[in-house]
Amino acid sequence: MAYQPHPRARVEGQSAPLSAGADTIAAVATPAGRGGIGVVRVSGARVREIAGGVLGALPEPRHATLADFRTAQGAPIDSGIALFFPAPRSYTGEDVLELQGHGGPVVMRELLRRCVALGARVAEPGEFTRRAFLNDRIDLAQAESVADLIDASSTEAAASAARSLAGEFSQRITSLVAALTELRMHVEACIDFPEEEIDPADRKALDEKLSAIRVAHAVLLDAARQGAVLREGLTVALVGRPNVGKSSLLNRLAGEDVAIVTPIAGTTRDYVRATIELEGVPIHLIDTAGLRDAAADEVERIGIERTWAAAASAGAVLYITEEGEQPRVEDASLLARLPAGIPKAHVFNKIDLSRSTASTSAAGKDAEIHLSAKTGDGVAALRSWLLETAGWRPHGEGLFMARERHLVALRVAGERLASAERNTQAFELFAEDLKITQDALGQITGAVSADDLLGEIFSRFCIGK
């Protein structure tokens, strides 16, 4: 059975029920530019009127209907497929009309104008999905997964987003909330009837239920952390002096010639970006201009500035030197300037020239890795370090997508559950901890949400979703 979101309990700061809005909205739902097919999507109370104006008649519900799209004067705009989804069994929970025509920008523009002339307004980014949320077609975690599925940068990330969209993450949150609700009922009954003596067996049962909830929460938090790694990945800056093999290493990791490689020092003058997929985790690599104390010209100076900026914003840094070289004062100076607190790997490249062997040593978050970008010897160890640094671990199937706000809510829930365990003898405090835990989890699915949070989430969607 498909997951069905629970109706929202409330929106913080708002006493009146939520409404998706009385306006009828329309937007081009396919990417801008030329394409084989373009789609204009319309949702709201005036859909039937708009369908009559554009098509001449309302299509049969949920049947693809070949139709002519016409202007107010009856002139043809295009011919294509019309689909009508009556409320409430539609994406938004409202009447929805989809007009599928030829994907030229002029055709799409004129078709959208016709819908607006008949009473629709142009939709805001994410407004269709926002209406789906407000009409209880999906919950907030599912709504976010729509954008995550579109933006997924790896196969595993896309699969995880699809599982979240199907409600797997939400189901686990809902199960945890249900267990909390049951526990709260028992605790608050003890508060309401203080004259009743608590049976030791009942108190033990409360402790066992709380312990089971904490275990389930810990498992969920761990899975959410892995889901966040799939969504965000890791951004890695490749830095070092000119001509030490940064671009060669980028090409080796990417499996293709992304960057130009020549024997001439300073070939790379600006960022070169590539995203690779390691066990489904997106690793965003940035090849940078070679670092040295004095730039040869203004272009190189700007490139070096951008290298330092890339290192400062990265989640990890690979500092690359040549195997077998005598230690340089310049390298020590450059290494000292790298941002503190982020993981770094000192990569000794070109072991094939010095006939050294590949090896790896680690010290905390940092590592030394000896490899050859040319032959690939030792690169597997670098890939393993990148995955470990990203926070990835081998896992079973069934991960779902998670965002930073989900992790924050789960951490708050964990803190309050720990507090609840300390307060099992003080039922008022115990009950309050459970309530705050439940509210924190409700923020993930939207059972408890704030208007500014909804605005932030849906503003990041593309128009037409």
What is the DSSP-derived secondary structure letter of residue 14?
B
- DSSP calls for 67-128: EEEE-TTS-EEEEEEEEEE-TTSSSSSS-EEEEEEEE-HHHHHHHHHHHHHTT-EEPPTTHH
Whether residue 396 is annotated as binding a ligand: the answer is no
Whether residue 135 is annotated as binding a ligand: the answer is no
Tokens matching residue 194: 């203080």
- Taking Cα atoms as reference points, which of 385, 461, 427 lies closest to residue 146? 461
Label residue 377 left, alpha or beta by phi (over 0 means left) and psi (-120 to 50 means alpha).
beta
> Are residues 8 and 135 in contact, defined by beta-carbon separation less than 8 angstroms?
no
Q: Radius of gyration over alpha carbons of the chain, in Å? A: 28
Whether residue 264 is annotated as binding a ligand: the answer is yes
Whether residue 263 is annotated as binding a ligand: the answer is yes
Whether residue 465 is annotated as binding a ligand: the answer is yes
Whether residue 423 is annotated as binding a ligand: the answer is no
Whether residue 389 is annotated as binding a ligand: the answer is no
Whether residue 324 is annotated as binding a ligand: the answer is no
The residues, ordered by sequence, that sit 6+ positions from 85 with a Cβ below 8 Å of its Cβ are: 61, 62, 91, 95, 96, 97, 98
Whether residue 76 is annotated as binding a ligand: the answer is no
Tokens matching residue 117: 């002339």
Q: Give the sign of the dihedral formed by CA 352, CA 358, CA 363, CA 366.
A: positive
> Are residues 107 and 32 in contact, defined by beta-carbon separation less than 8 angstroms?
no
The residues, ordered by sequence, that sit 6+ positions from 405 with a Cβ below 8 Å of its Cβ are: 443, 444, 453
How far apart CA 148 and CA 144 sit, in angstroms, is 6
> Are residues 316 and 387 in contact, defined by beta-carbon separation less than 8 angstroms?
no
Sheet with 65-70: strands ordered across: 65-70, 76-85, 96-103, 35-43, 25-28, 121-122
Whether residue 35 is annotated as binding a ligand: the answer is no
Whether residue 222 is annotated as binding a ligand: the answer is no
Whether residue 243 is annotated as binding a ligand: the answer is yes
Whether residue 288 is annotated as binding a ligand: the answer is yes
Whether residue 11 is annotated as binding a ligand: the answer is no
Whether residue 327 is annotated as binding a ligand: the answer is no
Tokens 């926070």, located at residue? 391
Whether residue 447 is annotated as binding a ligand: the answer is no
Q: How many residues comprise the chain?
A: 465
Whether residue 289 is annotated as binding a ligand: the answer is yes
Known binding residues for GTP: 243-248, 262-268, 287-290
Known binding residues for (6S)-5-formyl-5,6,7,8-tetrahydrofolate: 41, 98, 137, 465
Known binding residues for K(+): 243, 262, 264, 267
Known binding residues: 41, 98, 137, 243-248, 262-268, 287-290, 465
Known binding residues for Mg(2+): 247, 268
